[in-house]
Amino acid sequence: MKDVIVIGGGAGGVPAAIRAAQLGADVAIIEAKEFGGLCMNRGCVPFGHMMLASNVLGAVSLGKKLGFRFEGINPDYGELKKRQDELIGFMRMGVSSTLKKNNIELIEGKGILAGKGKVAVNGKIRSCKNVILATGASWAKPDFIEGDMEGIINSDDLLTADELPERTLLFGRSPWLLEIGQFLHRFGKKVILATPDKSILPNESKAIRTRLNKALKTEGIDILREAGITRVAKEKGGLSVTLNFKKGSDTLAVDRILYMERAPSLKGLGLASVGLDEDADFLEVDRRMQTGAAGIYAIGDLTGLQERHYSHLSSEGALIAAENAMGLNSRINRLTFARILFTQPQVASVGMTEKEAKTGGYDVIVGAAPYGMNPLGMLLSENEGLVEVVADKKYGEILGAHFVGTNVAEMAGQAILAIGMEGTLEDLARAAFPHPTLSESLPEAARNALGRHIYLP
Amino acid sequence: MKDVIVIGGGAGGVPAAIRAAQLGADVAIIEAKEFGGLCMNRGCVPFGHMMLASNVLGAVSLGKKLGFRFEGINPDYGELKKRQDELIGFMRMGVSSTLKKNNIELIEGKGILAGKGKVAVNGKIRSCKNVILATGASWAKPDFIEGDMEGIINSDDLLTADELPERTLLFGRSPWLLEIGQFLHRFGKKVILATPDKSILPNESKAIRTRLNKALKTEGIDILREAGITRVAKEKGGLSVTLNFKKGSDTLAVDRILYMERAPSLKGLGLASVGLDEDADFLEVDRRMQTGAAGIYAIGDLTGLQERHYSHLSSEGALIAAENAMGLNSRINRLTFARILFTQPQVASVGMTEKEAKTGGYDVIVGAAPYGMNPLGMLLSENEGLVEVVADKKYGEILGAHFVGTNVAEMAGQAILAIGMEGTLEDLARAAFPHPTLSESLPEAARNALGRHIYLP
C-alpha cells in the first residue's frame, strides 16, 4: 500500500512525488510517455531554448544600435535542435535520478483510477491512500477541418521536424503562437499570425497588448484579427487556406498551419470510478488541490482551461497537494498566478488586471511607468516596455502587476512576492531597487499610483 | 526663505528636491557641474551602456553555442561613445525639465554651508529651513606616485578619451574595475587586473567570488592578487609598472593605469560653520538621514565609504531626507542595501552575508541553488550562476540573498522586497515564480535552507 500514487510525471507530478517523499511517504509515480512531461520535452524547455536563439538575434539588433557591424549571421536550425535535444535528454535523466534518489518508485505505463484507493497500471491494481492526478492536457482537434489533414500541425510536430517550415499560418488563441511566430520570423521564415479574437492576449491590459503588438509590428510581424478559417485545401507544394474576417476574406498559400489548442484530458482516467465527472471542461479542485473525491488530488493543466496552463502553476499546486495528502494543511494562493510570454519584449502578468479587480468589486488605483523613462530602458531603446501596478485604493494593497519589456519574466517574481506577502503600494514605492535596472520601474509605477512618481514627467 | 536647499544635483539630490517639492516645499537645488551627477554623466549610465555592448558580445558567444555562425563582428567604439553621449545629453535635459516642472529653482554654482540656515552660492547667501547635502565623493590620488603622472587615469578620463587604451593595468579595490576590465577585454584590448586584496570582491561570500572569478578566468581575464605598485616610470610609448606580490614582483609595459578610488569630499562644504566635522572619513547620518546638526540632512556617497557608493542608496536616502525635512518621520531600512556589479555574469548582494549575519549574532542557516540545476540556467550554459539565501534559523527571517549570474541585478529586487517586508524562508519557498526563469533558483535556495529542495540532487 503506497501512501501516494502520482499519475503523470511532468512539471506537476514530479515535484508532487518528491514533496510527498520528503514528508515520509512511500510514493510511486506513473508516467505514460516521458518523465518531464510536456514542459520539459515538448514545451517550456525546447521553446525556451528557441527563444534564447530568437533573443540572440534581438541582441544583434541592439548591437547594431551600439555601433557593432555584423558581416554575416547564419543560424543553423539543425545545430540548435541538436543542442536542445541533448539538453532535454540530460534533464530527463536528471528527473529520473532525482525521483529515484528520493526513493520514489517509477512506473512506466498508463495509470487509471480503479475505484477508491486503487490505480490500475500495466494490467495490475495498485493500492494507495492518496492519488495525485497530474496527467495534463492534450491537443484539441482543429474545428476547421474534418479529420486529419497533412500540413496542419501542433508544436509537437514542429519540434520533431528536422527543418522549419518556410511559410506558416499560426492560427488560434494560444499565446505561444506569438513566441513561435517571432522565432520563425527571426529565422527568416514567412509567418502569418491570425487570431479569432479582437486582439492578441485579450486577457491583458490594453496598454500591455498594444505595446507588444507595436513591437511585433515594428519587427515586421503583422497579426490578423477576428479571423476564421473557412477552407483548407491541399495544393501543389502546400496548403491553400481561406481566412474570413469581419470584413472580407483572403486566400493564402502556406506550407503549414500551426494550431495548438489544448484541453484537459479527463476521459480515460477512470474518474467515474471515484465519482468524478469526466465530461467537465476541467477537473475542479479546492485551494487544497483536492477534488470532490476524498484522497484524490489534482494539479496542473488537468485542473483548468488552456489560459491557465503554466508549468509553474502545476509545480505550485504539486507542493500543496503533496503536503495535504501527507496530513498538512496547505492552500494555494490564487492571487499570485502569473501569465508569462517569452517573446521579445516579454510579457508578464501577475494577479488581477484593472478590469478583473473592478469586476471583483475593488475600488482600484493604477500606476504605470514606461521603460522609456527608465535609464536602462533608454539605453536599451526599450520604447515599448511598461510596468503597471493595480492596487486597492483604500489600503493600497497590491492586486496585480503587469509588465511588457525585456526581463519582465524575472521581474514578475517581485510582484509575486509583493502580492503573496500582502504588500502595499507603500512597500513597493520605498523599495530601493538597484540602479540601473529595469526593475526600478516597479517602485516608480507604485509611486505613480500614489501620485508621487519621481522620474516621470 | 526656501524650505529646502539641496546641494548637489546627482542621483541623490535630484529625487530629494522633487520629493520635497511634492510635499509642498519651496526648493532650490545647487549643482556645480552637471545635473545628473556622477551616476548619469560619468558613472552608472555610460558604464551601463558599455556593459550592454559587452553583453552583446556575450550574446554572440551564447549564439555560437546555439548554432549561429558569425562571419565578422566589428565593434566601433566611436559609434558607441557617440550614442552614449547623446543619450546622456537627453537624460540630462530630462532631469532639468523634471526639476523645473516641480517648480524647483535650479542654481548653477558651488553651494557652501554658511552657518545655520544659510547657504552661500555664487557670492550670495541664501536662507533656508533645511539643507540636504548630496555632493558625493571625489577621486582619491593614487598613493603609488607623487603628484600627477600622465597615463594614470580614472574612469572620467577613460570616458572623455576618443579611443580605448590598448594595454591597461586596472589597479585597486573598486569593483567597477571588473566591469571596465571585462568591457576592454571584450573590445579586444589587453587588460591586467590587480587588487591589493586576497580576492576580488572580498565582501562577498566565497561561493560568489569564486564563481565570478572562474567565469572571468574562463573568458581569459586573470586577476593578480595581493598586489602593490612599487614603481611607475614613463617609457617610450607608455608606462613601465612594477608590481610586487606576496612572493616576487613583475614589471609590465602598459599604456594606462586605471585607478578609481573615491572618497567623500567633506572639505570645502562649510561643514564647520554648522558644527560638523570636516575631517571625518564620511559624514555620519542617522536612519532619518539627519546629520549631527539640526535641519541638515545628508545622503549618498558623502555619507559612506566607497564600498557603499551606489546611486540607488543615494536615491533611497533622498526620499527619506526630503520627507523628514518636510516634517514626516521616515527611516531608511539598512537591511536591504544592495551591492551590484554589471559584469557578465552579474553579481548582486542584498542584506547580510553569512559572515556578517554570524558576526551580528544570528544563528544562521544558508541555502543555495546553482543555475546549473535551473532549467533556464542549463539552456544558457550558466555554469557559474548561483543564488544563496541567508536566514535566521529560529524564525526563518531572510537576512540576505547573494547572486551571481545572468540577470541577477533584476532578481535582486525580489530579495530587497522579501527582506524589506520581513519575509521568511517559508514565504520564498512557496513563491510560484514563472517557469522557465532564473528567478526559480531563489525559492529553491530557500527550500534548500529548509532542507526540502525539490530539484537539486
Query: Could you read off the pLDDT of B62-113 as tens digits, one per residue?
Result: 999 999 999 999 999 999 999 999 999 999 999 999 999 999 999 999 999 9
Query: Looking at CA atoms only, how far is residue A94 from chain B in angstroms?
Result: 8
Residue B426 burial class via C-beta count within 10 angstroms: exposed 0-12, middle 13-18, buried 19 and up: middle
- Indicate which CATH number applies to the domain containing B416: 3.30.390.30
d(CA A47, nearest CA chain B) in Å: 10
Shared domain for B90 and B22, answered yes or no, is yes
Q: Is position B144 within any domain?
A: no
Whether B295 is in a domain gets the answer: yes
**Do A251 and A393 fall into the same domain?**
no
Find chain B residues with C-beta within 8 A of A309's C-beta.
none
Query: pLDDT tens digit string along A33-73?
Result: 999 999 999 999 999 999 999 999 999 999 999 999 999 99
- Interchain proximity B74–A73, CB inside 8 Å: no
Do the chains contact at A418 and B421, CB–CB below 8 Å?
yes
Residue of A nearest to B451 (CA): A22
Q: Say if residue B122 is in the same domain as residue B268.
A: yes
Please give the span between the terminal C-alpha atoms of chain A, in angstroms, as a whole number.
66
| Whether residues A174 and A279 fall in one domain | no
Q: How distant is the Cα of A340 from the closest Cα of chain B, in angstroms?
A: 7
Q: How far is A232 from chain B (nearest CA, A)?
A: 35
Tens of pLDDT, residue by residue over A389-412, are 999 999 999 999 999 999 999 999
On whether residue B34 sits in a domain, the answer given is: yes
In the listed set B215, B230, B260, which residue is the last one of a domain according to the structure? B260
Considering only CB atoms, which chain B residues are within 8 Å of A75? 67-68
Whether B341 and B417 share a structural domain: yes
Contacts with B98 from chain A: Cβ below 8 Å: 455, 457
Residues of A whose CB is below 8 A from B60: 56, 59-60, 63
pLDDT-above-70 percentage for chain B: 100
C-alpha span between A45 and A187 (Å, rounded):
19
Mutate one of B14, B86, B410 to test the A interface: name it (highest A CB count within 10 A): B410
Tell me how many residue pairs between chain A and chain B have CB atoms under 8 A apart: 295
Considering only alpha carbons, which residue of chain A is nearest residue B438? Answer: A410
Which of B51, B371, B454 is the best residue to mutate to test the A interface, defined by the most A CB atoms within 10 Å of its own CB?
B454
User: What was the pLDDT predicted at A148?
Assistant: 86
User: Which residues of chain B have a pLDDT value below 70?
Assistant: none
Contact yes or no for B63 and A53 at CB 8 A = yes
CB contact at 8 A, A321 and A289:
yes
Look at residue A452 in the predicted model and tell me its pLDDT: 98
Domain end call among A332, A347, A377: A332
Alpha-carbon Rg of chain A, whole angstroms?
Answer: 23
- Chain B CA closest to residue A426: B421
Cis peptide before A436 (omega within 30 of 0): yes
What is the distance between the alpha carbons of residues A233 and A334, in angstroms, rounded to a whole number? Answer: 44
Q: Which residues of A touch B428 (CB under 8 A)?
A: 417
A442: burial class by Cβ within 10 Å (0-12, 13-18, 19+)? buried
A145: in domain = no
Task: Yes or no: say if B132 and B325 are a contact pair by the CB < 8 Å rule.
Answer: yes
Question: A188: Cβ–Cβ under 8 A, 6 or more apart, which residues?
Answer: A75
In angstroms, the Cα distances linking B229 to A298, B256, B257 are: 66, 14, 10
Show the low-confidence residues of chain A (pLDDT under 50): none
B435 assigned to active site: yes
In angstroms, rounded to a whole number, what is the distance separating the alpha carbons of residues B455 and A18? 9
- Can you give the pLDDT at residue B147? 82
State the catalytic residue, choosing from B49, B185, B435, B453.
Answer: B435
Angle at alpha carbon of residue A449, lines to A445 and A453, rounded to 5°? 60
Q: Tell me, yes or no, whether B380 and B287 share the same domain.
A: no
What was the pLDDT predicted at B457? 87
Chain A residues within 8 A of B411 when measuring between CB atoms:
410, 413
Q: Which residues of A touch B337 (CB under 8 A)?
A: 432
Return d(Cα A398, Cα A389) in angstroms, integer. Answer: 7
Question: What are the phi and psi torsion angles at A213 (to 5°)?
Answer: -60, -45
Among B56, B378, B426, the strongest candidate for a mutation testing the A interface, having the largest count of A CBs within 10 A, is: B56
Q: Residue A322: beta bridge partners?
A: none
Considering only the beta carbons, identify the residue of A416, A428, A435 that sits closest to B432. A416
Q: Which residue of B has its CA nearest to A49?
A: B379
Yes or no: say if B384 and B447 are a contact pair by the CB < 8 Å rule: no
B144 touches B228 (CB < 8 A): yes
User: Which residues does chain B have within 8 Å of residue A431's beta carbon, measured at their own beta carbons?
Assistant: 336, 413, 416-417, 420
Q: What span, in angstroms and rounded, lies between the C-alpha atoms of A360 and A399?
A: 11
- Do the chains contact at A379 and B49, CB–CB below 8 Å? yes
The pairing of beta strand B190-194 with beta strand B223-224: parallel
Same structural domain, A209 and A77: no
Please indicate, yes or no, whether residues B374 and B428 belong to a single structural domain of this protein: yes
Query: What's residue A289's pLDDT?
Result: 98
A117 and A164: one domain? no
Task: Determine which of A50, A56, A69, A99 to mutate to test the interface with B (most B C-beta atoms within 10 Å).
Answer: A56
Q: Under an 8 A CB cutoff, do A379 and B457 touch?
A: no
Asked if the structure places residue A118 within a domain, the reply is yes
Say whether both A126 and A171 belong to one domain: no
Q: How many domains does chain A have?
A: 3
Dist. CA B457–CA B441, nearest whole Å: 14
Do A48 and B436 make contact, defined as CB atoms within 8 angstroms? Answer: yes
Cβ <8 Å between A431 and B413: yes
In what helix (H) or strand (E) does residue A90 lie, and over which residues does it extend? helix A77-101
Q: Is residue A74 part of a domain?
A: yes
pLDDT digits (tens, 9 = 90+) for A118-132: 999 999 999 999 999
Whether A147 is covered by a domain: the verdict is: no
ipTM: 0.97
The shortest C-alpha distance from B141 to chain A (Å) reads 27
CB contact under 8 A, B431 and A418: no
- Report CA A341 to chain centroid distance, whole Å: 7
Residue of B nearest to A98 (CA): B457
- Report how far residue B327's alpha carbon sits from residue A204's, in angstroms, rounded to the nearest whole number: 41
Closest Cα to residue A395, out of A418, A421, A424? A424
**Interface mutation vs chain A, best among B66, B186, B444, most A CBs within 10 Å:** B66
Q: Which residues of B touch A45 (CB under 8 A)?
A: 375, 379, 436
Which residue in chain A has the smallest CA separation from B100? A457
Tell whether A247 and A309 lie within a shared domain.
Answer: no
Question: Of B235, B260, B285, which one is at a domain's C-terminal end?
Answer: B260
In the set A49, A309, A402, A435, the catalytic residue is A435
Q: In CATH, what number is assigned to the domain containing residue A119?
A: 3.50.50.60
Residues A439 and A343 in one domain: yes
How many other β-carbons are positioned within 10 Å of the β-carbon of residue B248? 7
The domain in which residue B366 lies consists of 336-449
Closest residue by Cα to residue B425 from B403, B451, B398: B398
Pick the residue from chain A with its C-alpha nearest to B433.
Answer: A413
Q: Is A324 helix (H, G, I), strand (E, B) or coil?
A: helix
For residue B119, being part of any structural domain is answered with yes
